[in-house]
Structure 1
Amino acid sequence: MCVEDVEMLVNNRLRGLKIGGNFEDALRMEVDQANSSPFTTEIKQATPPKRFSTPFFTCFNGDSDPESHLKYFKSLMILYKTEDALMCKVFAMNLRGAAQDWFHTLPSGSISSFKELAYVFTKEYTSYRTIKKNPDHLFNVHKKSDESLQDYIKRFKAERANIVGCDDQIASSAFKRGLPIECELYRELTISPCQILIEVFATAEHYALWDDDQIAAKKANQAAKLASEENCKRRSQP
């Protein structure tokens, strides 16, 4: 069953369950909802596999990316992905707070598969979806004038880690582009442009150590200069 079929099936079922009825019927339905389950009878009556132990989950509270949570859930339940009823029940168990309240607003018997549950879940929390960054985003990362080379490397790696499937060649080009032209590392990477990304970072780390040594030496010289000036002032005083 494709996504479009799931969407049509769920929407039609929800629409059919909500049509008609007066105020008393609506109130009775609301009370019944609180005491019932959105799952069909088939899912509710299904028994878990023998020796199944519920994994430890970080619960979903309704304030984070639903797609990331679904991937996280599926990875922990990968051994039981064919157990549709089990997937539905365990997923409902790790909802908390507002997400748990939302789950119980689903009409009774409206969910007959994990695909349907995943569809209504992502649809409900679509506004919390994280906008995925494009690899070209790395070309916007530049070394700041007051930033050490080591800090730039860390910041660039952190940005790259947030981009799924980032090409190494693009990352290498973006890393070099973010360096000031007068930087010695920029010159090195220009002379040896065929390095793979891991080699680029290795070269950068060597230059970062040299850069840190220069910064430390500069600070030591400044401190010595200030101390010398203070001594001269003391000697000049009567």
Structure 2
Amino acid sequence: MEFGHQGAPSPWHREFTNDRSFDPPYRPSMATYDYSLERRPADPTIPLRFSRENEALHSFARTVALPFTNKILNAPNPRKFSMPVFILFDRTTDLIDHIYHIQLKMALNTNNDPLMCKCFPISFSGPALNWFKNLTQGSIASFQDLCDKFISQYYGNKRLVKDVSSLFTMKHNEDEQLQAFLTRFNLVKSMVMECHPSTAVQAFKLAMTRGIPFHTSLVVNTPKTMDDLNERANGFVRLEEEKIANARKTSIISTEEKSKAKIRQKQALQRQTS
């Protein structure tokens, strides 16, 4: 910059400074700047499309109607209510178990029927949520109505109820661990609606492999309930697990000894040949 004798800017500098049109834009180097971007016209329909789509979404949100009656929709919620976390129903779980899960989570508010109706659909996802959205407006007047429609829609997801005879057809495999058979037997027993405790114990005793220690214990002193049987089985399960662990240790030690023996044999042959 050139200055005069007294430090003031030169006349040509004042001229360019006063000229507001002198505002040179930043230009990158010729090697990197793409001048075709300046020649590419903007699409004038983009803002219009965005505005229409946005308006359509807002319109859809305003017109979606819940299938509850006005009595449910206008019912006030409790002042100190905290929404619980529900397991989502994805058509893979039993629908009766899912309803029971909702009632357990809402245990303190089960008497508040409108609140139960509003909270139940929060546990829907995927096809179940689409089914709920397509229900007729005002068609649900109570939590019982919602449960009835839910059961009618997903009746195929109802867990099959087994007969007591299914317990007597079970067999313990000789190579099956006791803990695995206990789990399998209790799972089938949970599907039997009515089963006397002594009947389940007898079915379990008949299913066990003859001659193993736990079967001998059941014959000598038969428990009265499945809870007593499971409690006694815990000791035998621990003994079985310890036996398996010891067998693995023995196998590992045997493998290591075999490897060491091969190494010693190889070294002996090398000394003989040298």
TM over 0.5: yes
Kindly tell me: are residues 194 and 92 of structure 1, through their superposed partners in 2, closer, same or farther at Cα, counting changes over 3 Å?
A: closer
The structure showing larger relative contact order (alpha-carbon pairs under 8 Å, at least 6 residues apart) is 1
Name the residue aligned to 1:50: 79
Q: What residue ranges of structure 1 are gaps of 5+ in the alignment? A: 1-30
1:79-118 alignment runs, 5 A limit: 79-118=108-147
Query: Is 1:65 paired with 2:114?
Result: no
User: How far, CA to CA, are the matches of 1:194 and 1:93 in structure 2?
Assistant: 45
Kindly tell me: are residues 79 and 212 of structure 1, through their superposed partners in 2, closer, same or farther at Cα, counting changes over 3 Å?
A: closer
User: How far, CA to CA, are the matches of 1:193 and 1:39 in structure 2?
Assistant: 55
Contact 1:143/1:179 (CA < 8 Å) preserved in 2? yes
Kindly tell me: are residues 114 and 176 of structure 1, through their superposed partners in 2, closer, same or farther at Cα, counting changes over 3 Å?
A: same
Shift of 1:152: 2.9
- Give the TM-score, by structure 2 length: 0.60
Q: What residue ranges of structure 2 are gaps of 5+ in the alignment? A: 1-59
SS at match of 1:122: helix
User: What letter matches 2:219 in structure 1?
Assistant: T
1:1-238 alignment runs, 5 A limit: 35-161=64-190, 163=192, 166-193=195-222, 195-211=224-240, 220=250
Shift of 1:154: 4.1
State the superposition RMSD in angstroms.
Answer: 3.6
Shift of 1:80: 2.0
User: What letter matches 2:105 in structure 1?
Assistant: L
Between the two proteins, the alignment pairs up a number of residues equal to 207
Shift of 1:165: 6.1
User: How far, CA to CA, are the matches of 1:57 and 1:126 in structure 2?
Assistant: 21
User: How far, CA to CA, are the matches of 2:189 and 2:164 in structure 1?
Assistant: 8
- Give the TM-score, by structure 1 length: 0.67
User: How far, CA to CA, are the matches of 1:199 and 1:64 in structure 2?
Assistant: 30
User: How far, CA to CA, are the matches of 2:235 and 2:130 in structure 1?
Assistant: 54
Shift of 1:171: 2.3
User: How far, CA to CA, are the matches of 1:162 and 1:156 in structure 2?
Assistant: 10
